[in-house]
Amino acid sequence: MDANAPSTSAPVSMGTSIIAVTFNGGVILGADSRTSTGNYVANRVTDKITPLCDNVYTLRSGSAADTQAIAGYVQHFIAQHQAEEGDHVTVKTAANLVKMMAYNNKDIMQAGLIVAGFDKYGGGQVYSISLGGTITATPFSMSGSGSTYINGFCDKYWRENMSEEEAMDFVTRALRYAMTWDASSGGCIRTVTITAAGTKRQFIQGSLIQPTYGELPREQIVA
C-alpha cells in the first residue's frame, strides 16, 4: 500500500459550496456536488439539495451522515404536521424544526444547513442555520468551505427583487467562483427553483463549468 495515499478512513464530509437566494417570485437553491473523505473525493455527483416537503428544501454542509440524519427526522416531523393540519407547512416552521435538531445535538453533530422555500404567507424565504443551531432569516445565504471565497462577490452583485433569470445567473456564477478556488468543492452544479407554481430542478454537468479567474489580470508576454 502506498503510504502517501490519501486516507479513506476519515468521516465523509461535504466540504461544500451551497447558496440560496430570494428573487421576486420565490427562491433558488444551488450547490456543488463533491463529497470528500479526508483528501479523497468519495463522490463527485452528490445531491446536497434535500427536500423536506414539496415547498421547502434544505442545503446540507458539514458531516454527510449528520445532515442526512437531520433531514430525515425533519421530513418525518413535517409529514406528521401536514397530516394533522391538512395544509403545507410554512418555511419558518420547517426551518425551526431543523434549528431544534441542530441545536439539541450541537455537541455531537457537525451540520450547517440552509433552509429555503415558498409559502402563501411569506413568499420566498431563506433561513441560515449555523453549526451551533443559530437561525437567521436572510435574503440570501451561503455556507460551506467554498463560501469564504464568494462573500465579496455576493455582497457586490446581490440585488433586491431580482428576476428569476438574474437570480439563477447570480447563483451559478457564485458557485463557479467557489468551485474554482475551493479544493473541497467541485463536480457539477445542481439548482432548485421554488415558486408558487411549484418546484423545478436544473443540472449543469461538470464538463460545462469552466474555472473562473476573471479577477486575475493576464498580460500578453509574447507578441
How far is it, in rounded angstroms, from Cα 37 to Cα 13? 6
* Catalytic residue status for 16: yes
Cα R_g (the chain), whole angstroms: 18
Bridge pairing between strands 135-138 and 35-37: unpaired
Cβ neighbourhood burial of 210 (10 Å; 0-12, 13-18, 19+): exposed
DSSP secondary structure letters along 72-128: HHHHHHHHHHHHHHSSPPPHHHHHHHHHHHHHHTTTT--EEEEEEEEETTTEEEEEE
Residue with cell 437561525: 135
Q: Which of 16, 22, 35, 193 is catalytic?
A: 16
- Annotated catalytic residues are 16
